[in-house]
């Protein structure tokens, strides 16, 4: 892993694999998970308009 590379979000270990996730919105709200299905390189940027609107009422997690 390149330690100089900056990224939004965080790395979470799932079954020995690091998965990049981005979370936004109030932690107490219902959760919505957005996942890319077509090889999107940067879902956190592709879904930005959508999660900015949804995060007002939901906790949004982008994988």
Which residues constitute the domain of residue 42? 10-62
Give the three-class secondary structure for 48.
Answer: helix
Confidence of residue 7 (pLDDT cuts 50, 70, 90): confident
Q: Which residue has the tokens 């690091």?
A: 18
In a domain, 4, yes or no: no
Q: Does 40 have pLDDT greater than 70?
A: yes
Q: What is the reported pLDDT for 5?
A: 66
Extract the tokens encoding 43. 């879902």
Domain presence at residue 5:
no
The total of structural domains in the chain comes to 1
Q: What is the pTM of this model?
A: 0.79
In a domain, 25, yes or no: yes
Could you tell me the pLDDT band of residue 4, with boundaries at 50, 70 and 90?
A: confident
Cβ count within 10 A of residue 60: 22
């Amino acid at each position: 892993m390149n330690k100089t590379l900056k990224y939004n979000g965080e790395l979470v270990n799932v079954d020995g694999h690091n998965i990049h996730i981005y979370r936004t919105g109030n932690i107490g709200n219902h959760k919505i998970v957005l996942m890319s299905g077509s090889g999107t390189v940067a879902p956190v940027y592709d879904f930005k308009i959508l999660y900015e609107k949804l995060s007002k009422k939901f906790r949004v997690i982008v994988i």
